[in-house]
Structure 1
Amino acid sequence: MPAAYDRYLVPVVFRPFAEDLTTRAAALRPRRILELAAGTGVLTSGLLAAAPSAEVTATDLNEAMVTLGSAQAPGAAWRQADAQRLPFPDGSFDLVVCQFGVMFFPDRIGAYAEVRRVLTPGGRFLFNTWAPLETHGFEVALQAGLDRAFPADPPPFFRAFPHGYADPTVVAADLTAAGFTVEEVREVTVHGRAESVADLATGYLTGTPVRAAVEERGGGPQARAVVTEEMTARLGPGPVTAPMSAYVFSAVA
Protein backbone atom coordinates (compact mmCIF):
# COMPACT_ATOMS: atom_id res chain seq x y z
CA MET A 1 0.00 0.00 0.00
CA PRO A 2 2.73 2.60 0.78
CA ALA A 3 4.33 2.06 -2.64
CA ALA A 4 1.04 2.60 -4.51
CA TYR A 5 0.25 5.61 -2.35
CA ASP A 6 3.64 7.13 -3.05
CA ARG A 7 3.64 6.42 -6.78
CA TYR A 8 0.11 7.41 -7.74
CA LEU A 9 -1.23 9.79 -5.08
CA VAL A 10 1.67 11.74 -3.61
CA PRO A 11 2.61 13.66 -6.79
CA VAL A 12 -0.99 14.56 -7.63
CA VAL A 13 -2.77 14.99 -4.29
CA PHE A 14 -0.23 15.51 -1.51
CA ARG A 15 2.81 17.28 -2.94
CA PRO A 16 1.01 20.57 -3.72
CA PHE A 17 -0.11 20.89 -0.11
CA ALA A 18 3.29 19.77 1.19
CA GLU A 19 4.82 22.67 -0.73
CA ASP A 20 2.37 25.05 0.95
CA LEU A 21 3.14 23.72 4.45
CA THR A 22 6.87 23.75 3.75
CA THR A 23 6.78 27.46 2.89
CA ARG A 24 4.82 28.25 6.05
CA ALA A 25 7.11 26.14 8.22
CA ALA A 26 10.33 27.61 6.83
CA ALA A 27 9.07 31.14 7.50
CA LEU A 28 9.02 30.31 11.24
CA ARG A 29 12.79 29.58 11.18
CA PRO A 30 12.49 26.45 13.35
CA ARG A 31 15.47 24.73 14.93
CA ARG A 32 13.89 21.42 15.94
CA ILE A 33 10.98 20.05 13.92
CA LEU A 34 8.79 17.04 14.69
CA GLU A 35 6.62 15.71 11.89
CA LEU A 36 3.64 13.49 12.67
CA ALA A 37 2.02 11.08 10.17
CA ALA A 38 4.95 11.67 7.83
CA GLY A 39 3.90 8.91 5.42
CA THR A 40 6.43 8.38 2.66
CA GLY A 41 8.21 11.67 3.29
CA VAL A 42 6.90 14.21 0.79
CA LEU A 43 6.63 16.96 3.43
CA THR A 44 9.78 15.72 5.17
CA SER A 45 11.81 16.21 2.02
CA GLY A 46 10.46 19.73 1.64
CA LEU A 47 11.32 20.61 5.23
CA LEU A 48 14.85 19.30 4.88
CA ALA A 49 15.41 21.44 1.79
CA ALA A 50 13.70 24.59 3.03
CA ALA A 51 15.10 24.55 6.58
CA PRO A 52 18.55 22.97 6.14
CA SER A 53 19.80 24.09 9.55
CA ALA A 54 16.88 22.51 11.43
CA GLU A 55 16.89 19.07 12.99
CA VAL A 56 13.94 17.13 11.54
CA THR A 57 12.40 14.12 13.27
CA ALA A 58 9.78 12.31 11.17
CA THR A 59 7.32 9.82 12.66
CA ASP A 60 4.46 7.65 11.50
CA LEU A 61 2.32 5.02 13.17
CA ASN A 62 2.71 2.68 10.19
CA GLU A 63 6.08 0.93 10.18
CA ALA A 64 5.88 0.31 6.42
CA MET A 65 5.51 4.05 5.84
CA VAL A 66 8.53 4.70 8.08
CA THR A 67 10.59 2.18 6.10
CA LEU A 68 9.77 3.77 2.75
CA GLY A 69 9.91 7.35 4.04
CA SER A 70 13.31 6.92 5.64
CA ALA A 71 14.70 5.72 2.32
CA GLN A 72 13.28 8.72 0.48
CA ALA A 73 14.12 11.42 3.05
CA PRO A 74 17.19 10.03 4.83
CA GLY A 75 18.23 13.42 6.19
CA ALA A 76 15.56 13.17 8.90
CA ALA A 77 15.63 11.01 12.01
CA TRP A 78 12.80 8.53 11.42
CA ARG A 79 10.95 6.44 13.97
CA GLN A 80 7.65 4.68 14.43
CA ALA A 81 5.48 6.57 16.92
CA ASP A 82 1.88 7.02 18.03
CA ALA A 83 0.88 10.70 18.08
CA GLN A 84 -1.18 10.03 21.21
CA ARG A 85 1.87 8.74 23.13
CA LEU A 86 4.87 10.57 21.74
CA PRO A 87 8.21 9.08 22.86
CA PHE A 88 9.91 12.44 23.40
CA PRO A 89 10.63 14.57 26.49
CA ASP A 90 8.70 17.74 27.29
CA GLY A 91 9.76 20.78 25.29
CA SER A 92 11.78 18.84 22.72
CA PHE A 93 10.69 20.80 19.62
CA ASP A 94 9.84 24.34 18.60
CA LEU A 95 7.67 23.26 15.65
CA VAL A 96 5.39 20.26 15.13
CA VAL A 97 3.95 19.75 11.65
CA CYS A 98 1.42 17.26 10.32
CA GLN A 99 0.01 16.88 6.83
CA PHE A 100 -3.47 15.32 6.62
CA GLY A 101 -2.96 13.13 9.68
CA VAL A 102 -5.02 14.60 12.52
CA MET A 103 -8.29 13.34 11.02
CA PHE A 104 -7.16 9.79 11.83
CA PHE A 105 -6.30 10.35 15.52
CA PRO A 106 -8.84 8.43 17.65
CA ASP A 107 -8.43 10.97 20.50
CA ARG A 108 -7.68 14.27 18.83
CA ILE A 109 -7.69 16.40 21.96
CA GLY A 110 -5.41 13.89 23.66
CA ALA A 111 -3.05 13.92 20.68
CA TYR A 112 -3.03 17.72 20.62
CA ALA A 113 -2.19 17.74 24.32
CA GLU A 114 0.76 15.46 23.56
CA VAL A 115 1.89 17.82 20.81
CA ARG A 116 1.69 20.72 23.24
CA ARG A 117 3.72 18.77 25.79
CA VAL A 118 6.63 18.18 23.42
CA LEU A 119 6.64 21.80 22.20
CA THR A 120 8.65 24.54 23.85
CA PRO A 121 6.56 27.39 25.34
CA GLY A 122 5.55 29.53 22.40
CA GLY A 123 6.29 26.72 19.95
CA ARG A 124 3.91 26.19 17.06
CA PHE A 125 1.75 23.38 15.77
CA LEU A 126 1.23 23.69 12.00
CA PHE A 127 -1.04 21.25 10.17
CA ASN A 128 -3.73 20.86 7.55
CA THR A 129 -7.01 18.98 7.23
CA TRP A 130 -9.13 18.31 4.19
CA ALA A 131 -12.13 20.55 3.54
CA PRO A 132 -15.49 18.83 2.76
CA LEU A 133 -15.44 16.08 0.16
CA GLU A 134 -17.33 18.27 -2.31
CA THR A 135 -14.29 20.59 -2.56
CA HIS A 136 -11.98 17.81 -3.81
CA GLY A 137 -12.55 17.25 -7.52
CA PHE A 138 -10.69 13.94 -7.75
CA GLU A 139 -12.34 12.40 -4.70
CA VAL A 140 -15.84 13.51 -5.68
CA ALA A 141 -15.35 11.52 -8.87
CA LEU A 142 -13.84 8.62 -6.95
CA GLN A 143 -16.74 8.47 -4.49
CA ALA A 144 -19.21 8.53 -7.37
CA GLY A 145 -17.38 5.52 -8.81
CA LEU A 146 -17.52 3.69 -5.48
CA ASP A 147 -21.23 4.49 -5.15
CA ARG A 148 -21.82 3.02 -8.61
CA ALA A 149 -19.64 -0.06 -8.02
CA PHE A 150 -21.28 -0.84 -4.66
CA PRO A 151 -24.79 0.70 -4.79
CA ALA A 152 -26.06 -1.24 -1.77
CA ASP A 153 -23.12 -0.47 0.50
CA PRO A 154 -20.55 1.98 -0.86
CA PRO A 155 -17.35 2.32 1.20
CA PRO A 156 -17.75 5.37 3.48
CA PHE A 157 -14.02 5.85 4.10
CA PHE A 158 -13.47 9.17 2.33
CA ARG A 159 -16.48 10.89 3.86
CA ALA A 160 -15.87 9.43 7.31
CA PHE A 161 -12.12 9.92 7.67
CA PRO A 162 -10.16 12.15 5.25
CA HIS A 163 -13.12 14.53 4.99
CA GLY A 164 -14.74 13.69 8.32
CA TYR A 165 -13.02 16.49 10.28
CA ALA A 166 -13.83 19.28 7.89
CA ASP A 167 -15.41 21.88 10.19
CA PRO A 168 -12.68 24.37 11.16
CA THR A 169 -14.64 25.56 14.18
CA VAL A 170 -14.58 22.02 15.59
CA VAL A 171 -10.85 21.69 14.95
CA ALA A 172 -10.18 25.05 16.60
CA ALA A 173 -12.28 24.09 19.61
CA ASP A 174 -10.30 20.85 20.00
CA LEU A 175 -7.02 22.77 19.88
CA THR A 176 -8.28 25.19 22.52
CA ALA A 177 -9.40 22.29 24.73
CA ALA A 178 -5.85 20.90 24.54
CA GLY A 179 -4.39 24.21 25.72
CA PHE A 180 -3.38 25.79 22.41
CA THR A 181 -4.02 29.32 21.25
CA VAL A 182 -5.26 29.22 17.68
CA GLU A 183 -3.20 31.73 15.71
CA GLU A 184 -4.55 31.31 12.19
CA VAL A 185 -7.01 29.23 10.17
CA ARG A 186 -6.78 29.56 6.41
CA GLU A 187 -8.51 27.80 3.53
CA VAL A 188 -6.12 26.81 0.76
CA THR A 189 -7.19 25.60 -2.70
CA VAL A 190 -4.73 24.14 -5.18
CA HIS A 191 -5.10 22.23 -8.44
CA GLY A 192 -3.79 18.71 -8.73
CA ARG A 193 -2.73 17.30 -12.08
CA ALA A 194 -2.92 13.62 -12.98
CA GLU A 195 -1.46 12.20 -16.18
CA SER A 196 -3.89 9.28 -16.14
CA VAL A 197 -7.25 8.80 -14.45
CA ALA A 198 -6.62 5.04 -14.51
CA ASP A 199 -3.44 5.52 -12.46
CA LEU A 200 -5.25 7.82 -10.07
CA ALA A 201 -8.00 5.25 -9.54
CA THR A 202 -5.35 2.59 -8.96
CA GLY A 203 -3.71 4.78 -6.36
CA TYR A 204 -6.90 5.35 -4.43
CA LEU A 205 -8.06 1.73 -4.64
CA THR A 206 -4.73 0.12 -3.74
CA GLY A 207 -2.82 2.83 -1.85
CA THR A 208 -5.39 3.87 0.77
CA PRO A 209 -7.44 2.04 3.43
CA VAL A 210 -10.38 1.92 1.00
CA ARG A 211 -8.54 -1.06 -0.48
CA ALA A 212 -9.66 -3.22 2.47
CA ALA A 213 -13.24 -1.95 2.20
CA VAL A 214 -13.38 -2.88 -1.48
CA GLU A 215 -11.94 -6.33 -0.77
CA GLU A 216 -14.45 -6.89 2.04
CA ARG A 217 -17.24 -6.22 -0.44
CA GLY A 218 -15.87 -8.73 -2.91
CA GLY A 219 -14.57 -6.07 -5.25
CA GLY A 220 -11.80 -6.88 -7.67
CA PRO A 221 -10.86 -5.95 -11.23
CA GLN A 222 -14.52 -5.44 -12.11
CA ALA A 223 -15.01 -2.90 -9.33
CA ARG A 224 -11.83 -1.08 -10.33
CA ALA A 225 -13.07 -0.96 -13.92
CA VAL A 226 -16.39 0.58 -12.83
CA VAL A 227 -14.65 3.18 -10.64
CA THR A 228 -12.21 4.07 -13.41
CA GLU A 229 -15.01 4.36 -15.96
CA GLU A 230 -17.01 6.71 -13.70
CA MET A 231 -13.97 8.83 -12.89
CA THR A 232 -13.11 9.07 -16.57
CA ALA A 233 -16.67 10.11 -17.43
CA ARG A 234 -16.43 12.93 -14.89
CA LEU A 235 -12.82 14.00 -15.31
CA GLY A 236 -11.74 12.84 -18.76
CA PRO A 237 -9.08 10.22 -19.48
CA GLY A 238 -6.12 12.42 -18.64
CA PRO A 239 -4.13 14.48 -18.28
CA VAL A 240 -6.68 16.09 -15.98
CA THR A 241 -6.65 18.80 -13.35
CA ALA A 242 -9.02 19.30 -10.45
CA PRO A 243 -9.32 21.69 -7.50
CA MET A 244 -8.64 20.43 -3.97
CA SER A 245 -9.27 22.43 -0.79
CA ALA A 246 -7.89 22.14 2.72
CA TYR A 247 -7.71 24.14 5.94
CA VAL A 248 -4.34 25.11 7.37
CA PHE A 249 -4.08 25.68 11.13
CA SER A 250 -1.36 27.40 13.11
CA ALA A 251 -1.58 27.13 16.91
CA VAL A 252 0.74 28.35 19.66
CA ALA A 253 1.65 26.27 22.71
Structure 2
Amino acid sequence: MHPCESDLAFAGSIPQFYEQYMVPLIFAPYAADMARRVALRQPERVLEIAAGTGVVTRQLAHLLAPSVSIIASDLNPSMLEHAAAVGTCRPVEWRQADAMQLPFPDASFDVVACQFGAMFFPDKAKAFAEVRRVLRPGGTFLFNVWDSIEHNEFADTVTQALAACFPDNPPRFMARTPHGYHDPAAIAQDLARGGFDRTVELVTVAERSRASSPRVVAVAYCQGTPLRGEIEAHGPSSLSQATDVAAAALASRFGAGAVDGLIQAHVVTVER
Protein backbone atom coordinates (compact mmCIF):
# COMPACT_ATOMS: atom_id res chain seq x y z
CA MET A 1 0.00 0.00 0.00
CA HIS A 2 1.55 3.27 -1.08
CA PRO A 3 1.11 6.36 1.10
CA CYS A 4 -2.28 7.91 0.55
CA GLU A 5 -4.55 10.30 2.39
CA SER A 6 -5.57 7.74 4.97
CA ASP A 7 -2.07 6.40 5.60
CA LEU A 8 -0.66 9.83 6.27
CA ALA A 9 -3.55 10.70 8.55
CA PHE A 10 -3.00 7.72 10.88
CA ALA A 11 -0.39 9.64 12.85
CA GLY A 12 -0.02 11.96 15.81
CA SER A 13 -2.58 11.20 18.50
CA ILE A 14 -4.81 9.14 16.19
CA PRO A 15 -3.30 5.71 17.08
CA GLN A 16 -4.08 6.33 20.76
CA PHE A 17 -7.63 7.55 20.05
CA TYR A 18 -8.10 4.70 17.58
CA GLU A 19 -7.10 2.06 20.11
CA GLN A 20 -9.02 3.64 22.98
CA TYR A 21 -12.25 4.41 21.14
CA MET A 22 -12.57 2.78 17.72
CA VAL A 23 -11.26 -0.67 18.63
CA PRO A 24 -13.91 -1.44 21.27
CA LEU A 25 -16.58 0.44 19.35
CA ILE A 26 -16.42 -1.37 15.99
CA PHE A 27 -13.26 -3.45 15.48
CA ALA A 28 -13.17 -5.86 18.43
CA PRO A 29 -16.17 -8.03 17.41
CA TYR A 30 -14.79 -8.56 13.92
CA ALA A 31 -11.29 -9.24 15.25
CA ALA A 32 -12.64 -12.16 17.26
CA ASP A 33 -14.49 -13.42 14.17
CA MET A 34 -11.39 -13.07 11.97
CA ALA A 35 -9.10 -14.86 14.42
CA ARG A 36 -11.59 -17.70 14.82
CA ARG A 37 -11.74 -18.18 11.05
CA VAL A 38 -7.94 -18.19 10.84
CA ALA A 39 -7.63 -20.72 13.68
CA LEU A 40 -10.04 -23.11 11.95
CA ARG A 41 -7.51 -23.37 9.11
CA GLN A 42 -4.89 -24.75 11.54
CA PRO A 43 -2.05 -22.78 9.96
CA GLU A 44 1.64 -23.00 10.77
CA ARG A 45 2.59 -19.58 9.40
CA VAL A 46 0.28 -16.54 9.38
CA LEU A 47 0.78 -13.10 7.90
CA GLU A 48 -1.47 -10.24 8.94
CA ILE A 49 -1.42 -7.15 6.74
CA ALA A 50 -2.82 -3.72 7.70
CA ALA A 51 -2.60 -4.82 11.33
CA GLY A 52 -3.18 -1.31 12.69
CA THR A 53 -2.91 -1.20 16.47
CA GLY A 54 -3.03 -4.98 16.72
CA VAL A 55 -6.59 -5.89 17.66
CA VAL A 56 -6.61 -8.96 15.38
CA THR A 57 -2.99 -9.76 16.23
CA ARG A 58 -3.83 -10.02 19.92
CA GLN A 59 -6.69 -12.40 19.15
CA LEU A 60 -4.47 -14.52 16.90
CA ALA A 61 -1.78 -14.71 19.58
CA HIS A 62 -4.41 -15.89 22.05
CA LEU A 63 -6.03 -18.52 19.81
CA LEU A 64 -3.07 -19.95 17.89
CA ALA A 65 -0.51 -22.28 19.44
CA PRO A 66 2.85 -20.77 20.40
CA SER A 67 4.44 -22.86 17.65
CA VAL A 68 2.46 -20.95 14.98
CA SER A 69 4.48 -18.12 13.45
CA ILE A 70 2.61 -14.80 13.34
CA ILE A 71 3.94 -11.80 11.44
CA ALA A 72 1.83 -8.67 11.89
CA SER A 73 2.56 -5.92 9.36
CA ASP A 74 1.36 -2.44 8.55
CA LEU A 75 2.56 0.39 6.35
CA ASN A 76 2.21 2.97 9.09
CA PRO A 77 4.96 2.92 11.74
CA SER A 78 2.94 4.92 14.27
CA MET A 79 0.20 2.29 14.33
CA LEU A 80 2.72 -0.56 14.59
CA GLU A 81 4.61 1.15 17.39
CA HIS A 82 1.40 1.49 19.33
CA ALA A 83 0.48 -2.15 18.63
CA ALA A 84 3.88 -3.33 19.86
CA ALA A 85 3.59 -1.16 22.98
CA VAL A 86 0.18 -2.68 23.82
CA GLY A 87 1.74 -6.10 23.23
CA THR A 88 0.46 -9.65 22.88
CA CYS A 89 0.17 -12.65 25.19
CA ARG A 90 3.03 -14.38 23.37
CA PRO A 91 5.71 -13.26 20.91
CA VAL A 92 4.78 -12.13 17.39
CA GLU A 93 6.92 -10.40 14.79
CA TRP A 94 5.97 -6.79 14.03
CA ARG A 95 7.00 -5.72 10.56
CA GLN A 96 6.55 -2.51 8.60
CA ALA A 97 5.49 -3.62 5.14
CA ASP A 98 3.83 -2.26 2.03
CA ALA A 99 0.92 -4.45 0.94
CA MET A 100 1.66 -3.47 -2.65
CA GLN A 101 5.15 -4.97 -2.39
CA LEU A 102 5.33 -7.50 0.42
CA PRO A 103 8.90 -8.21 1.60
CA PHE A 104 8.42 -11.96 1.89
CA PRO A 105 9.37 -14.90 -0.36
CA ASP A 106 6.87 -16.72 -2.54
CA ALA A 107 4.70 -19.37 -0.87
CA SER A 108 5.68 -18.31 2.67
CA PHE A 109 2.36 -18.46 4.52
CA ASP A 110 -0.58 -20.77 5.09
CA VAL A 111 -2.97 -17.87 5.80
CA VAL A 112 -2.90 -14.16 5.04
CA ALA A 113 -5.40 -12.15 7.09
CA CYS A 114 -6.43 -8.53 6.70
CA GLN A 115 -9.01 -6.73 8.82
CA PHE A 116 -10.55 -3.61 7.25
CA GLY A 117 -7.45 -2.80 5.23
CA ALA A 118 -8.37 -3.66 1.64
CA MET A 119 -10.43 -0.46 1.29
CA PHE A 120 -7.20 1.55 1.62
CA PHE A 121 -5.17 -0.28 -1.05
CA PRO A 122 -4.68 2.14 -3.96
CA ASP A 123 -4.41 -0.76 -6.44
CA LYS A 124 -6.43 -3.58 -4.98
CA ALA A 125 -5.67 -6.12 -7.72
CA LYS A 126 -1.95 -5.54 -7.26
CA ALA A 127 -2.21 -5.96 -3.50
CA PHE A 128 -4.24 -9.14 -3.96
CA ALA A 129 -1.61 -10.46 -6.39
CA GLU A 130 1.04 -9.90 -3.72
CA VAL A 131 -1.07 -11.81 -1.20
CA ARG A 132 -1.45 -14.67 -3.65
CA ARG A 133 2.29 -14.70 -4.31
CA VAL A 134 3.21 -15.12 -0.63
CA LEU A 135 0.54 -17.78 0.01
CA ARG A 136 1.50 -21.40 -0.35
CA PRO A 137 -0.59 -23.47 -2.82
CA GLY A 138 -3.85 -24.25 -1.04
CA GLY A 139 -3.33 -21.38 1.40
CA THR A 140 -6.13 -19.02 2.35
CA PHE A 141 -6.66 -15.29 2.11
CA LEU A 142 -9.15 -14.00 4.70
CA PHE A 143 -10.20 -10.37 4.81
CA ASN A 144 -13.14 -8.19 5.69
CA VAL A 145 -14.48 -4.87 4.46
CA TRP A 146 -17.27 -2.67 5.74
CA ASP A 147 -20.67 -2.83 4.08
CA SER A 148 -22.15 0.42 2.75
CA ILE A 149 -22.44 3.26 5.22
CA GLU A 150 -26.23 2.99 5.32
CA HIS A 151 -25.76 -0.35 7.11
CA ASN A 152 -23.43 1.17 9.70
CA GLU A 153 -25.63 3.45 11.76
CA PHE A 154 -23.13 5.43 13.84
CA ALA A 155 -20.87 6.21 10.86
CA ASP A 156 -23.88 7.20 8.78
CA THR A 157 -25.28 9.48 11.49
CA VAL A 158 -21.92 11.22 12.01
CA THR A 159 -21.42 11.68 8.26
CA GLN A 160 -24.86 13.20 7.78
CA ALA A 161 -24.39 15.52 10.76
CA LEU A 162 -21.04 16.78 9.45
CA ALA A 163 -22.50 17.33 5.99
CA ALA A 164 -25.08 19.66 7.54
CA CYS A 165 -22.40 21.37 9.64
CA PHE A 166 -19.99 21.94 6.72
CA PRO A 167 -22.25 22.05 3.65
CA ASP A 168 -19.73 23.73 1.34
CA ASN A 169 -17.14 20.96 1.73
CA PRO A 170 -18.58 18.11 3.79
CA PRO A 171 -16.09 15.67 5.36
CA ARG A 172 -16.91 12.45 3.52
CA PHE A 173 -13.98 10.23 4.51
CA MET A 174 -16.12 7.55 6.15
CA ALA A 175 -18.43 7.13 3.16
CA ARG A 176 -15.66 7.50 0.59
CA THR A 177 -13.03 5.12 1.98
CA PRO A 178 -13.91 2.78 4.87
CA HIS A 179 -17.42 2.25 3.46
CA GLY A 180 -16.50 2.72 -0.19
CA TYR A 181 -15.49 -0.85 -1.11
CA HIS A 182 -18.52 -3.00 -0.42
CA ASP A 183 -19.69 -4.28 -3.82
CA PRO A 184 -19.25 -8.09 -3.91
CA ALA A 185 -18.90 -8.08 -7.70
CA ALA A 186 -16.11 -5.49 -7.59
CA ILE A 187 -14.31 -7.43 -4.85
CA ALA A 188 -14.53 -10.69 -6.81
CA GLN A 189 -13.31 -8.93 -9.96
CA ASP A 190 -10.30 -7.46 -8.16
CA LEU A 191 -9.43 -10.85 -6.68
CA ALA A 192 -9.62 -12.41 -10.15
CA ARG A 193 -7.39 -9.66 -11.53
CA GLY A 194 -4.98 -10.48 -8.71
CA GLY A 195 -4.80 -14.09 -9.89
CA PHE A 196 -7.23 -15.77 -7.52
CA ASP A 197 -9.13 -18.22 -9.72
CA ARG A 198 -11.04 -20.21 -7.09
CA THR A 199 -14.52 -19.58 -5.77
CA VAL A 200 -14.79 -16.50 -3.58
CA GLU A 201 -16.83 -16.96 -0.42
CA LEU A 202 -18.42 -13.75 0.87
CA VAL A 203 -20.61 -13.65 3.95
CA THR A 204 -22.23 -10.58 5.46
CA VAL A 205 -21.81 -10.36 9.22
CA ALA A 206 -23.91 -7.98 11.31
CA GLU A 207 -22.74 -6.94 14.78
CA ARG A 208 -23.73 -4.32 17.32
CA SER A 209 -21.69 -1.24 18.15
CA ARG A 210 -22.10 -0.07 21.75
CA ALA A 211 -20.82 2.87 23.77
CA SER A 212 -21.56 4.43 27.13
CA SER A 213 -22.71 7.71 25.54
CA PRO A 214 -23.18 9.51 22.20
CA ARG A 215 -20.16 11.63 23.10
CA VAL A 216 -17.88 8.58 23.11
CA VAL A 217 -19.01 7.69 19.59
CA ALA A 218 -18.57 11.27 18.37
CA VAL A 219 -15.03 11.46 19.76
CA ALA A 220 -14.20 8.06 18.24
CA TYR A 221 -15.19 9.00 14.71
CA CYS A 222 -14.24 12.68 14.68
CA GLN A 223 -10.95 12.40 16.55
CA GLY A 224 -9.84 8.77 16.21
CA THR A 225 -9.95 8.30 12.43
CA PRO A 226 -8.56 10.14 9.38
CA LEU A 227 -11.90 11.97 9.28
CA ARG A 228 -10.18 14.26 11.77
CA GLY A 229 -7.93 15.76 9.10
CA GLU A 230 -10.87 16.67 6.89
CA ILE A 231 -12.62 18.28 9.84
CA GLU A 232 -9.57 20.25 10.98
CA ALA A 233 -9.15 21.66 7.46
CA HIS A 234 -12.26 23.76 8.19
CA GLY A 235 -10.49 25.84 10.83
CA PRO A 236 -8.98 25.83 14.33
CA SER A 237 -12.28 25.36 16.19
CA SER A 238 -13.77 22.91 13.70
CA LEU A 239 -12.81 19.71 15.56
CA SER A 240 -14.60 20.64 18.77
CA GLN A 241 -17.54 21.99 16.79
CA ALA A 242 -17.81 18.82 14.70
CA THR A 243 -17.56 16.58 17.75
CA ASP A 244 -20.37 18.51 19.46
CA VAL A 245 -22.56 18.40 16.34
CA ALA A 246 -21.96 14.66 15.89
CA ALA A 247 -22.70 13.96 19.56
CA ALA A 248 -25.97 15.89 19.34
CA ALA A 249 -27.04 14.01 16.20
CA LEU A 250 -26.22 10.66 17.78
CA ALA A 251 -28.13 11.59 20.93
CA SER A 252 -31.13 12.62 18.84
CA ARG A 253 -31.18 9.27 17.01
CA PHE A 254 -30.05 6.83 19.72
CA GLY A 255 -30.74 8.59 23.02
CA ALA A 256 -28.62 10.45 25.55
CA GLY A 257 -27.49 7.44 27.59
CA ALA A 258 -25.79 4.24 26.50
CA VAL A 259 -26.10 3.82 22.72
CA ASP A 260 -26.35 0.77 20.48
CA GLY A 261 -26.19 0.74 16.68
CA LEU A 262 -25.91 -1.68 13.78
CA ILE A 263 -22.54 -2.33 12.17
CA GLN A 264 -22.17 -4.63 9.18
CA ALA A 265 -19.28 -6.02 7.17
CA HIS A 266 -18.47 -8.54 4.45
CA VAL A 267 -16.04 -11.35 5.30
CA VAL A 268 -14.23 -12.73 2.26
CA THR A 269 -12.45 -16.07 2.01
CA VAL A 270 -10.55 -17.33 -1.04
CA GLU A 271 -7.97 -20.08 -1.50
CA ARG A 272 -4.86 -19.88 -3.63
RMSD over aligned CA atoms reads 1.1
Is structure 2 residue 147 aligned with structure 1 residue 141? no
* 1:20 alignment partner in structure 2: 33
Is structure 2 residue 76 aligned with structure 1 residue 62? yes
Question: CA separation in 1, counterparts of 2:200 and 2:219?
Answer: 38
Question: CA separation in 1, counterparts of 2:263 and 2:92?
Answer: 28
Q: CA deviation at 1:44?
A: 0.4
Q: CA deviation at 1:138?
A: 1.1
Structure 2 matches for 1:112-191, cutoff 5 A?
112-180=128-196, 181-191=198-208
Q: Structure 1: which amino acid aligns with 2:224?
A: G
For residue 243 of structure 1, give the secondary structure of its aligned residue in structure 2: strand
Mapped contact 2:129–2:194 kept (Cα < 8 A): yes
Give runs of ≥4 in structure 1 deviating > 3 Å.
Answer: none
Is structure 2 residue 62 aligned with structure 1 residue 46? no
* 2:228 alignment partner in structure 1: 211
Number of aligned residue pairs: 253
Q: Structure 2: which amino acid aligns with 1:56?
A: I
Q: Deviations over 1:206-251 (max 9, x none)?
A: 1111111001122132222112111211122231111111101001
Mapped contact 1:31–1:55 kept (Cα < 8 A): yes
Question: CA separation in 2, counterparts of 1:57 and 1:237?
Answer: 42
Is structure 2 residue 39 aligned with structure 1 residue 31? no
Q: CA deviation at 1:152?
A: 2.0
Mapped contact 1:175–1:182 kept (Cα < 8 A): no
Mapped contact 1:182–1:249 kept (Cα < 8 A): no
* 2:124 alignment partner in structure 1: 108
Q: List runs of 5+ in structure 1 lacking aligned partners.
A: none
Mapped contact 2:218–2:244 kept (Cα < 8 A): no
Question: CA separation in 1, counterparts of 2:148 and 2:260?
Answer: 18
Question: CA separation in 2, counterparts of 1:71 and 1:27?
Answer: 28
Q: CA deviation at 1:20?
A: 0.9
Q: Structure 2: which amino acid aligns with 1:65?
A: M
Q: CA deviation at 1:185?
A: 0.8
Mapped contact 1:44–1:73 kept (Cα < 8 A): no
Mapped contact 2:214–2:248 kept (Cα < 8 A): no
* 2:8 alignment partner in structure 1: none
Question: CA separation in 2, counterparts of 1:195 and 1:56?
Answer: 34
Q: Structure 2: which amino acid aligns with 1:239?
A: A
Q: Structure 2: which amino acid aligns with 1:3?
A: Q
Q: Structure 2: which amino acid aligns with 1:205?
A: C
For residue 199 of structure 2, give the secondary structure of its aligned residue in structure 1: strand
For residue 4 of structure 1, give the secondary structure of its aligned residue in structure 2: helix
Question: CA separation in 2, counterparts of 1:233 and 1:141?
Answer: 10
Q: Deviations over 1:63-98 (max 9, x none)?
A: 000001112234210011110011111111110000
* 1:94 alignment partner in structure 2: 110
* 2:252 alignment partner in structure 1: 233
Question: CA separation in 1, counterparts of 2:246 and 2:214?
Answer: 10
Mapped contact 2:25–2:211 kept (Cα < 8 A): yes
* 1:194 alignment partner in structure 2: 211
Q: CA deviation at 1:202?
A: 0.8
* 1:10 alignment partner in structure 2: 23
Q: Structure 2: which amino acid aligns with 1:132?
A: S
Counting aligned pairs with the same residue, the percent is 44
